[in-house]
Structure 1
Amino acid sequence: MPGETNLETLLATMAPRLHDEAFAYVTITPGKPEPDGLEPVLRFEEPEGTTLVVPRRQALQSGLDPVFACKMITLEVHSALEAVGFLAALLPPLAAAGIGVNPVSAYFHDHLLVPADRAGEAVAILEGIAEKARGGLG
């Protein structure tokens, strides 16, 4: 299943879904084991350490130092990994509103990690973009 590549279709059908869970970023020093009980939604290996995005409560329970308390917005459209311009169309309006975004592209969907206290505003901006794009498809 290759996913959608048409930019207008992606924008019109993105269906942003805000997750209830609060997440945070943590890092594990190279050579140290990952604490038990973590259920990361993202793991990325860098020379300086392993970055994990985990439920914030799990980070605190594990004694880790969580940073960037955030919420995840999943764009429900199955976007193709080779799609051009999708995130480029979404990030400037969020930046103009002063909302920092850490985007993650996975196999089926794109996910946006935004400050927890701005998540509702971010969803409203994305829904506005989708509504405008739906008008363009008609």
Structure 2
Amino acid sequence: MSGERDLGRLLSGLTPVLDADTYVFACVPAGTDTAHFSLLMQFTEEEGETLILTEETAKKEGLAYEFPCRRITLSVHSALDAAGLMAAVSAALAAKDIPVNPVAGYYHDHLFVPDARADEAMEILKSLTSSPC
């Protein structure tokens, strides 16, 4: 099942959803057994394993972490090869000095924004749906 590729339709159908949990980014050495961690995402990099997990889990596991953030899911089913969506979203948030760490899932894109600015980010994203492109 392929997703939407048209940028106008992607923007008009963003439907951002704010997750209630606070997430963080952590890094553990390559080869660390993370099977018992409750992870949202794990990505292998040369320097180690990047983890995205709840702040609560990171504290419970005694992990050093950074960037307390909230996840915003863009509910539109975007194609993995769609061009321009993340550029438009990132530019709109950057214009208000809100950093974003995006992650692409198979069906949706997910944005990690600073916890303290999540509500503001949501308003910006909602405004994109009413005035795409």
| TM-score bucket of the superposed structures, by smaller chain | over 0.9
* Aligned counterparts of 1:112 and 1:29: Cα–Cα separation in 2: 25
TM-score by length of 2: 0.96
Q: How does 1:103-122 map to 2 (within 5 A)?
A: 103-122=102-121
Alignment-mate amino acid for residue 47 of structure 1:
E
Specify the alignment match of 2:95 in structure 1. 96
Could you tell me which amino acid in structure 2 is paired with residue 30 of structure 1? A
Q: How does 1:47-86 map to 2 (within 5 A)?
A: 47-86=46-85
What number of residue pairs does the alignment pair up? 133
Structure with higher Rg: it is: 1
RMSD, aligned CA: 1.2
Shift of 1:31: 3.1
Q: How far apart, in 1, do the equivalents of 2:129 and 2:86 lie?
A: 13
1:66 positional shift: 1.5
Displacement after TM superposition at 1:30 (Å):
2.0
- What runs of 5+ residues in structure 2 fail to find an aligned partner? none
Judge conservation of contact 1:99–1:122 (CA < 8 Å) in 2: yes
What residue is the counterpart of 1:6 in the other structure? 6
Which runs of at least 4 in structure 1 moved beyond 3 Å after TM superposition? none
Contact 1:35 1:62 (8 Å CA) reproduced: no
TM-score, length-normalised on structure 1? Answer: 0.92
AA aligned opposite 2:83: V
SS in 2 for 1:41: strand
Q: After TM superposition, give the deviation of residue 39 of structure 1 in Å.
A: 1.6
SS of the residue aligned with 2:124?
helix
